[in-house]
Amino acid sequence: MKPQDLTDLALRNLREAILRNALTTLGIAVGVASLVAMLSLGVGLQQLASKRLSQSGLFDTIFVTPKNNFRGMGRPQREVDSDKPVRVLDNDARHELEKLPNVIEVYPQVRFFTEVRFNNKPYATVVAGLPDSSRNSGAFDGMQGNFFSSSTANEAILQIEFAKDLSDKPSSLVGQELTLRYAERQAIPTVGSDPSSSAAEPGGFSVVPKELRLKIVGIVETEPAAGYGGYGNARLLMPLETASTLRAAQVNDLRDIVRGSTSNKTTYPSLSVRAKSPSQVEALEASIKNLGFNAFSLLDASKSLRTFFSVFDLLLGIFGSLALAVATLGIVNTLVMAILERRREIGVLKALGAADSDVQQLFFVEAGVMGFLGGIFGVGFGWLLGRAITFGTNVYLKRQNLNPIELSSVPWWLVITALVFAVLVSLAAGLYPASRAAKLNPVDALRYE
């Protein structure tokens, strides 16, 4: 039979038992809908996580430390090539890193433990400098107030928990001022050197208490992502350049003095190198290691995240497919019933010259049409279900004073895949009924009343 006639007859047959076939199709639609809803949640969550992570800058950032860095209490010292001189992270190294290809910026970690005064009460906290590029980090998307007006402004962004410590109404803090008290390093002048030089502290340094007034410009709801050596633990954030000019005493200062660092220049405990895109991180990491530094990036973590989501999607897919599997039993049932009902008709078709393959194809097309229609409705239902879950979640998030999120996502590939899958599964379900119908003995079928 020609495809057009085959489809025509199949549609005619489907219309004939409209209720039963509609219910079967609905079953497939529910199956496909559950599959699409599950996968759309998986895809949505993955996109959400990827977006957050790429915004956080963790995946395009490489953390550089000197090779002789202490590894920690009680842990053995990292083995260092004794041939090569140990390289320190000083300004020369910083410039060298900046000149590497695909580097956007290189910035030091400035973080120190100090005291903040607000309303004449002291609060102890960790202060960290934020590079200006953090402006685009997802962590500041839903903040109260604004990001720093400039990279040298005397401004501060508080973390919400710290803001709650300072005031019962954290939001009222924006616009107010606080006082930062910190320990400034001042070089002990030696004969013949310029005491104003910040870089040279050959004879050690003295620590002088200083104060700086900072205007509170914003409050971050969520803690900015704490990477390796990140600023996650800091509760008061200020522009990096402002923080650098303070020359506040940092944790490693004492260590460097004790070690009697051979260099008489400023050294950094670590530097963060930002690549143009995460895809360049791996190559950049290798060239930094070639320069003689330790380099670490979260790219590996990103890889394992992708693996996690693949497994997650697979599990969601399996759960979603269960409903579809039940629906395929519905197809088998409906078509087997149809064979019983249309036994005589199959006999007539064969008597009129229909080949076994004609009868088989007829049932096949019927199964395929039910699968296709079920697939279309299912994708629609699934999309609606995803929207409903997103809506419900966002209502909940709003009540918790959190920002709305896009929980489900139905990309085109999911629509196409779901349709193809629905048709294939339906055709597979039609295999047995179709072959049974094709094998029907016409003499028996015609005798059947």
**Which residues are registered as beta bridge partners of 144?**
219
Q: How far is the CB of 372 from another protein (least distance, A)?
A: 22
Q: How far is the CB of 361 from another protein (least distance, A)?
A: 12
- What's the CA gap between 179 and 176, in Å, rounded? 10
Nearer to another protein, 130 or 349 (CB): 349
Q: How far is the CB of 445 from another protein (least distance, A)?
A: 9
Do 49 and 309 touch, CB atoms closer than 8 A? yes
Nearer to another protein, 1 or 22 (CB): 1
Neighbouring C-beta atoms of residue 278, cutoff 10 Å: 18
3-state secondary structure of 72: coil
Nearer to another protein, 98 or 358 (CB): 358
Nearer to another protein, 354 or 429 (CB): 354
Q: How far is the CB of 5 from another protein (least distance, A)?
A: 4
Nearer to another protein, 9 or 160 (CB): 9
**Which residue, 447, 437, 444, is CA-closest to 354?**
437
Q: How far is the CB of 53 from another protein (least distance, A)?
A: 60
Q: How far is the CB of 383 from another protein (least distance, A)?
A: 36
- What's the CA gap between 303 and 295, in Å, rounded? 17
Instruction: Using CB under 8 A, list all residues that contact another protein.
Output: 1-2, 5, 9, 12, 16, 344-345, 347-358, 442-443, 446
Nearer to another protein, 89 or 440 (CB): 440
Nearer to another protein, 347 or 430 (CB): 347
HEC assignment per residue over 348-416: HHHHCCCCHHHHHHHHHHHHHHHHHHHHHHHHHHHHHHHHHHHHHHHHHHHHCCCCCCCCCCCCHHHHH
Pairing of strands 177-187, 205-220: antiparallel
Continuous segment of H or E residues that includes residue 264: none
Do 146 and 122 touch, CB atoms closer than 8 A? no
HEC assignment per residue over 134-194: HHHCHHHCCCEECCCCCCCCCEEEEEHHHHHHHCCCHHHHCCCEEEEEEEEEEECCCCCCC
Nearer to another protein, 290 or 357 (CB): 357
Residue 162 is encoded by which pair of tokens? Answer: 């710290």
Q: How far is the CB of 6 from another protein (least distance, A)?
A: 9
- What Rg value do the Cα atoms of the chain yield, rounded? 34
Q: How far is the CB of 442 from another protein (least distance, A)?
A: 5
